[in-house]
Amino acid sequence: MKRVELKGVSKSYDGRENVIKEIDVTIEPGEFFVLVGPSGCGKSTMLRMIAGLEEVTGGELSIGDLVANNLQPSQRDLSMVFQNYALYPHLSVKQNITFGLHTKKIAKKEQKQRCLDAADMLGLTELLDRKPRQLSGGQRQRVALARAIVTHSPICLMDEPLSNLDAKLRAKMRSEIRQIQRRLGITMIYVTHDQTEAMTMADRMMILHNGEVQQIGRPLDIYNVPANTFVASFIGAPPMNLADGKMVEDSFLLEDNFSILINKEIVSSVPLGRKVTMGIRPESIQLAKNGQKSFFADTVNVEVLGTETLITFEVGSQQWVAKWNGQWNIEIGEQVPLFIHESDLFFFEPENGECIWYQTKGDDKRTLKEAVL
């Protein structure tokens, strides 16, 4: 196992503005680290710099105890799984898996044993003599993963390897990849635009946007305490509901004069009359019960998913989504009393989106800075 460390790493093309902007992160040995963000945020570029396929413009990249800025890809002791699998169509599964081992001067007997071990691990034993065209998408993905495993490299890079698979197969392969990583104990750096993959697979994850790090941390820490409105709206399905407004006396007043009652603790923490952005997770919007301070909202859409129901409400001039367990029979246009507990609210700066207030829960006594770093 090896550690990967980036100190002030940046990337630009032809001397223009950096597309990767001074990234500082340490990926620990044996860690499953996920780079996640929307298309064009720089996550694949960052992975390619670690692999040596892109030049590091600024900063220092270390792999193990070596500074790797000027090392060739073959000198970095890592393997990579590409998005398009990159299998040779004229070679069999067995030949694809062992391709490249001869350059490492591995004996043929050892190559064969490694191939058999990887094939057994990934359920490819019966497919070793087939060509890639005779395989399904999931089987091709397994072959690409097996080719990375047989190198016995301590670091494995994966660039959106599941994006070509259907939803059911993606879920299955997520579990398989995570189990294999744990079994082998390798350091894995995984790129995806799918926040569900990031949440379910990562030990830690980095969220990128426009080449800048938005937040680094454990998935649940990021979900529970997003650093800014971008993270809040990117992580979570459905994403956090956000609304601009200001605090007035005992309520939060949206820009269209729609108000939500707020307790004194929050009112004293967020200055009166100051414009802020309020956030609330869909699962935290509850159906009001007798005695609870509620507000009414009109139903504009209902999606019954079996085990849960997504209800879209019109809150003033905005639409919020609530996620309730079970199957709810609510009519479009029906006015529903809703309740929001103050401990579930977040407040953000409207200019830069940074989180300025959230309620610590249970034994969580960390400051905001400790929670988001």
Is the per-residue pLDDT at 258 higher than 80?
Answer: no
Evaluate if residue 28 carries a pLDDT over 90: yes
CA–CA gap between residue 75 and residue 15 (Å, rounded): 27
Asked if residue 371 has pLDDT above 50, the reply is no
The reported pLDDT for the residue numbered 126 is 92
* Residue 345 and residue 285 share a domain: yes
Residue ending a domain, choose from 192, 210, 229: 229
* Residue 361 pLDDT > 60: no
Q: What's the pLDDT score for residue 308?
A: 94
pLDDT score for 365: 35
DSSP string, 166-192: -HHHHHHHHHHHHHHHHHHT-EEEEEE
Q: What is the pLDDT of residues 199-234, one digit of tens each?
A: 999 999 999 999 999 999 999 999 999 999 999 999
The mean pLDDT of 184-195, rounded to a whole number, is: 93
Determine, yes or no, domain membership for 123.
Answer: yes
Domain membership of residue 125 (yes or no) is yes
- Residues 163 and 42: their CA atoms lie apart, in Å, by 17
Distances (CA, A) of 133 to 145, 166, 331, 371: 17, 18, 50, 48
Let me know if residue 234 belongs to a domain: no
356 and 213 in one domain?
A: no
CB 313 within 8 A of CB 336: yes
Instruction: Give me the pLDDT at residue 200, please.
Output: 94
Query: Which pLDDT band, with edges at 50, 70 and 90, does 248 fall under?
Result: confident
Instruction: Give CA separation, 49 vs 10, 70, 86, 243, in Å.
Output: 10, 11, 19, 38
Per-residue pLDDT at 367 exceeds 60: no
**What is the predicted pLDDT for the residue at 364?**
44
Residue 272 and residue 157 share a domain? no
3-state secondary structure 7-26: EEEEECCCCCCCCEEEEEEE
Q: Kindly report the CATH number assigned to the domain that includes residue 352.
A: 2.40.50.140
Q: Which residue has the higher pLDDT, 88 or 365?
A: 88
- Residues 299 and 334 reside in one and the same domain: yes
What phi, psi does 328 have (nearest 5°)?
A: -115, 130
In a domain, 361, yes or no: yes
Q: Are 214 and 80 found together in one domain?
A: yes
Element at 203 (helix H, strand E): none
Write down which residue in 211, 229, 247 finishes a domain.
Answer: 229
Sequence-separated contacts (24+) of 357-365 with Cβ below 8 Å? 357/266, 357/269, 357/270, 358/225, 361/224
Whether 301 shows a pLDDT value over 90: the answer reads yes
Pair (245, 160) in one structural domain: no
The residue written with tokens 């988001």 in the block is 372
| Proportion of the chain above pLDDT 70, given as a percent | 93
> What string of DSSP letters covers 45-111?
HHHHHHHTSS---EEEEEETTEE-TT--GGGS-EEEE-TT----TTS-HHHHHHTTGGGGT--HHHH
On whether both 157 and 277 belong to a single domain, the answer is: no
Q: What is the mean pLDDT of residues 312-317?
A: 87
User: Does any domain span residue 48?
Assistant: yes
- Shared domain for 200 and 57, answered yes or no, is yes
Range in 60-64, 69-73, 159-163 with the lowest mean pLDDT:
159-163
> Which is more confident, 54 or 252?
54
Instruction: Report the DSSP beta bridge partners of residue 118.
Output: none
Domain boundary among 170, 196, 229: 229
Instruction: Look at residue 255 and tell me whether its pLDDT is greater than 90.
Output: no
Model pTM?
Answer: 0.88
Q: Are 202 and 32 in contact (CB under 8 A)?
A: yes
First to last CA, the chain: 24
Total number of domains constituting the chain = 2
Domain that residue 309 falls in: 239-368
Asked whether residue 42 falls in the same domain as residue 134, the answer is: yes
Q: pLDDT at residue 196 above 80?
A: yes
- 144 and 255 housed in the same domain: no
213 within domain boundaries: yes
pLDDT at 17: 83
For 326, the token pair is 């079970």
Q: Tell me: do 304 and 173 sit in the same domain.
A: no
Report in angstroms the alpha-carbon separations of 221 from 186, 206, 215, 274, 364.
24, 12, 10, 28, 11
Average pLDDT of the chain to the nearest whole number = 87
pLDDT of residue 264: 65
Residue 350 has pLDDT above 90, yes or no: no
The DSSP code for 33 is: E
For 105-145, how does the pLDDT look when each residue is reduced to its tens digit (9 = 90+)? 888 999 999 999 989 888 899 999 999 999 988 889 889 98
| Rounded Cα distance, 262 and 243, in Å | 14
Specify the higher pLDDT residue, 323 or 368.
323
Do 209 and 216 contact (CB within 8 A), yes or no?
A: no
Amino acid 173: pLDDT: 85
pLDDT surpassing 60 at residue 373: no
Q: How far apart are CA 300 and CA 14, in angstroms?
A: 50
At 368 the pLDDT is 36
Conformation bin of residue 338: beta by default, left when phi > 0, alpha when psi is -120 to 50: beta
Is pLDDT above 90 for 14? Answer: no
15 is a domain residue: yes
Domain assignment of residue 252, yes or no: yes
Q: What is the CATH number of the domain that holds 139?
A: 3.40.50.300
Query: Do 306 and 337 belong together in one domain?
Result: yes
